[in-house]
Amino acid sequence: MKKTEISFDLIPSSAVSTTALTICLKCAFDLFIKQLKVAPRTAYSELKKHVPEQTDFAGSSTARPHFFMTEETDRCPYCNGVKRWFAEFRAIRIDAHPSFEKQRKKLWAALKKEPDRFTIWSPERTQMQIFSDWLERMKRRIGFDDEKWLLQVAVEHIKRAAPSNDWDEALRGGVRRVQLSRQVEGGWRYENAWLYVSPELYGDVIMVQHLLSRAHSHGGRTFEGRLTLQELMGRLRRIGYFEARAITTRDQYEAFEQAVSAIVASGPDAIYYAVDRGDYLKQLKTVYDKKRTK
Ligand SMILES: [Zn+2]
């Protein structure tokens, strides 16, 4: 009997990110058999239920028997076991957005029909927390020494604001420049490696750049150069950002806060995780079968 493979293709690829976590099954069995003194059969049935914690995937408390593989890894960092002991969990994160909520629900209904293979969870995060988490991830990913981060962040933000587009296809020529334009319809237009964006989107981008880099250096670095908060507000006013965002206050701190709120509100509104245990269960069985026949 062939089951239909569950596909995440319904969800815009820019809203999906995957983290792979490796488990060493030699360590895992040893823990049960040698330390907890249980029979291999009991160990196997316990391990079949095993799902790593969110914190294991986040890397904040990844511990034996879990680790992250790199290209150089060919031995378990804890027991020196070889690769045939390894199995992989994949945590698939979806940054949910109202524009594809119907498809997300459909996918979740399909995942729920395979509870052995997929464990799903949805952490309680406010939209503001989701945004802060994203900023933190971006900070870790980008190197501030190189000016390239400005472009990288701009493209990431634009993808995030409009996740229903097939960005890889749309931007397949790469982006060399993000250009403010008052003549784009629907927020953006891509032509000859230039991404033309509306005042609203352009303003969002320099706001995000400012938010990311202001702790790093004096003033925030943006496409418009290094700007103090006052200079940033002046620049946004001139490009018509506040008008586009319907922000009317003359107080710059209030305007800044309202702009942040507007950016947050335009982003993902919930986070969903699915942990795929397909490879793990298969490897676990293989290892157990070998143990039994030994
Ligand atoms: Zn090991």
Distance 58 CA to ligand 1 centre (A): 20
118 Cα: distance to centroid of ligand 1 (angstroms): 24
Exposure string for 156-185, b = 16+ CB within 10 A, e = fewer: bbbbbbbbebebeeebeeeeeebebbeebe
Provide the pLDDT for residue 255: 95
Between the CA of 106 and the centroid of ligand 1 the distance, in Å, is: 38
Residues 6+ apart with CB under 8 A from 272: 93, 94, 96, 104, 108, 120, 121, 122
Cα-to-centroid distance, 119 and ligand 1 (Å): 24
**212 alpha carbon – ligand 1 mean position (Å):** 39
Residue 77 CA to ligand 1 center (angstroms) comes to 7
Q: CB neighbours (10 Å) of residue 108?
A: 15
**DSSP strand E in the chain: where?**
16-24, 66-67, 86-96, 118-121, 177-180, 188-191, 194-197, 220-222, 225-227, 270-276
Read off the pTM: 0.81
Residue 27 C-alpha to ligand 1 middle, in angstroms? 4
pLDDT tens figures, 16-45: 989 999 999 999 999 999 999 999 999 999
Task: Measure 100 CA to ligand 1 centroid, in angstroms.
Answer: 41
Mean pLDDT of 266-277: 94
pLDDT value, residue 216: 61
- Short-list 204, 211, 229, 201, CA closest to 139: 211
What is the dihedral angle through the alpha carbons of 179, 181, 186, 189, rounded to the nearest 10 degrees? -50
> In 171-251, where does DSSP find H-type helix?
199-213, 229-239, 241-244
- Name the residue type at position 285: K
pLDDT of residue 109: 95
What mean pLDDT comes out for the span 134-138?
89
Rounded alpha-carbon distances, angstroms, from residue 47 to 30, 44, 58:
11, 5, 21
Q: Where are the beta strands (DSSP E) in 100-150?
A: 118-121
- Taking all residues of the chain, what is their mean pLDDT, rounded to a whole number? 91
Compute the distance from residue 66 Cα to the ligand 1 centre, in Å: 9
Mean pLDDT of 242-257: 94
- Residue 3 pLDDT level (bands cut at 50, 70, 90): low
